[in-house]
Amino acid sequence: MHTDKPREACGIFGVCAPGADVARLAYYGLYALQHRGQESAGIAAADGRQIVLHREMGLVAEVFSEERLTELTGYLAIGHVRYSTTGASHPVNAQPLVFYCGEGMLGLAHNGNLSNGYSLRRELLSSGAVFQSTTDSEVLINLIARLNGEHNLPGAIRQCMAKAEGAYAVVLLTEDRIYAVRDPYGFRPLCVGRLTSGWVVASESCALDAVGAKFIRDVAPGEILEVSPEGLRTHSVVTVEHRAHCVFEYIYFARPDSTLDGFNVGRVRREMGRQLAREYCPAADIVVPVPDSGIAAARGFAEASGLRFEEGLMKNRYVGRTFIQPSQRLRDAGVRLKLNPVREAVAGKRVVLVDDSVVRGTTSCKIVRMLRDAGARKVYYCLSSPPIVRSCYYGIDTTNDKELIAAQKSVPEICQYMGADGLHYLSIEGLLRVFGEKAQDLCVACFTGNYPVPVKDTGVGKFGLGRPRALEVVG
Ligand code: SF4
């Protein structure tokens, strides 16, 4: 929808609930995680004897009918939503992946990106492995299946974790249990909740709320958590010297009603807005958010600055994945369909416009122009994140460095390009201050270039299937 933003890779969900309609619970869970991926959706269910799978391109509501859900029987289910790009979509990369291996069936749903995914893939190919998709998620399931020959499943997962580098939050489904696994740095979120008679794991706590589960805790970075009708069992926790939770989950991706690793997303965004106002507060009349992700930060900005909060831009929430992109001539009309200024709110006003982040800057220019056309006297662009200067290799599509406006232009140049009267990015120090002593547990590599896990060989653009880069490696 908002084309000038980083794109989230995936959302995952798992449920173990004997006697309950697990397919329907997974369906609702995925519905709550739809913001994390709109390209494809899938659910795999197990009944103690076999795994049944349904996955397709499309939104959760498009992929699953009443009839489809009825076919997914059992007491265990895992689910996955995958994000959409503007390019072609590929059913081959939809998840969960399900294979026959060793003594039974194994399903996997993955969120994240391995920073050594391509090396591992080559290693597996040279030893005779075959792949049906171009995702690094298949590298993970391949490794686990092979290692399962020598080890029990938790042991095989642990061995796989010793080889895999980078970001992965995973739910694995066997015929009679689920394993929830998070990489040792905890890049991508994963939490666990309790149902009246069962357990749920999900990328975000909003999905626990959606199915009536009570939040218990986050899956610990490096933890292998077994979920079965007997309850929860931690097999091992692989530790590293520090954690690296993706700060962009808080800035933009996650839902404001989710709590990730101890921080409520909405509250964090509000505090980022307050911090932004402490750093830069031009003489202005009103604070206007770029909806929806800028709303909480704009409220924080208004609180700290004393300026009035105004909903000066309206978002059309029904412009979705299937929106036909307008021709060149109608391009501005296309933006207007998604966002429209409230003339009565902004005319004659000096506006502080609060947005969460900017990738290429193209949409920002149009929004500034839109506000001016609606009569705004001044437009000051305020961003509740620092400039994005480096690509992400841990499962977020921030585009390549060359297309990142902040990697190519200085702040005054960007301000001029946007046509704004002023531009301020939240400082990296200001961003970290919001998290207090927990700031050391964050990944901020797209702002600093300090990658917590060395980026060796992700396989970006190397699978040779002529597909857009983002579709080839993210999971
Ligand atoms: Fe998140 Fe940026 Fe780190 Fe990627 S590089 S995991 S987007 S903070």
- Given a cut of 60, is residue 467 above it in pLDDT? no
Predicted confidence at residue 343, as pLDDT, reads 96
Classify burial at 356, counting beta carbons within 10 Å of its beta carbon; exposed 0-12, middle 13-18, buried 19 or more. buried
Average pLDDT of span 429-457: 93
Q: What whole-number distance in Å separates Cα of residue 370 and Cα of residue 320? A: 21
Residue 130 and residue 138 in contact, taking contact as beta carbons nearer than 8 Å: no
Q: CA nearest 166: which of 135, 136, 131?
A: 136
pLDDT in tens, 98-154: 999 877 999 999 999 898 988 999 999 999 998 888 888 999 999 999 998 889 999
**What average pLDDT does the chain have?**
90
Q: Which amino acid is at 329?
A: R
- Given a cut of 90, is residue 440 above it in pLDDT? yes
CATH of domain 265-439: 3.40.50.2020
pLDDT in tens, 29-76: 999 999 999 899 999 999 999 999 999 999 999 999 999 999 999 999
Residue nearest to atom 4 of ligand 1 (CA): 392
pLDDT in tens, 228-267: 999 999 998 888 889 999 999 999 999 999 999 999 999 9
Ligand 1 atom, smallest distance to 442 CA: 8
CATH architecture assigned to 7-244:
4-Layer Sandwich (3.60)
Taking the centre of ligand 1 as the mean of its atom positions, its distance from the CA of residue 48, in whole angstroms, is: 38
- Given a cut of 50, is residue 475 above it in pLDDT? no
Question: Is residue 187 in contact with ligand 1, taking CB distance under 6 Å?
Answer: yes
Q: CA nearest 434: which of 384, 399, 468?
A: 384
Chain centre distance of CA 401: 19
Taking the centre of ligand 1 as the mean of its atom positions, its distance from the CA of residue 390, in whole angstroms, is: 9
The conformational region for residue 246 under phi > 0 = left, psi -120 to 50 = alpha, else beta, is beta
Asked if the domains at 7-244 and 265-439 fall in one CATH topology, the answer is no
Taking the centre of ligand 1 as the mean of its atom positions, its distance from the CA of residue 444, in whole angstroms, is: 6
**Ligand 1 binding pocket mutation candidate from 165, 444, 450, 455 (most atoms within 8 A of CB):** 444
Taking the centre of ligand 1 as the mean of its atom positions, its distance from the CA of residue 368, in whole angstroms, is: 27
**Ligand 1 binding pocket mutation candidate from 188, 203, 248, 460 (most atoms within 8 A of CB):** 248
Pick the most confident of 255-259, 360-364, 391-395, 456-460. 255-259
Question: Is residue 381 in contact with ligand 1, taking CB distance under 6 Å?
Answer: no
Residue 10 bears catalytic tag? yes
Residue with tokens 């970001």: 167
Predicted confidence at residue 400, as pLDDT, reads 74
> Where are the chain's structural domains?
7-244, 265-439
Predicted confidence at residue 328, as pLDDT, reads 59
Residue 178 and residue 51 in contact, taking contact as beta carbons nearer than 8 Å: no
Residue 422 and residue 381 in contact, taking contact as beta carbons nearer than 8 Å: yes
What pTM does this model have? Answer: 0.92
The dihedral over CA atoms of 225, 226, 230, 233, expressed in degrees to the nearest 10, equals -40
- Given a cut of 80, is residue 334 above it in pLDDT? no
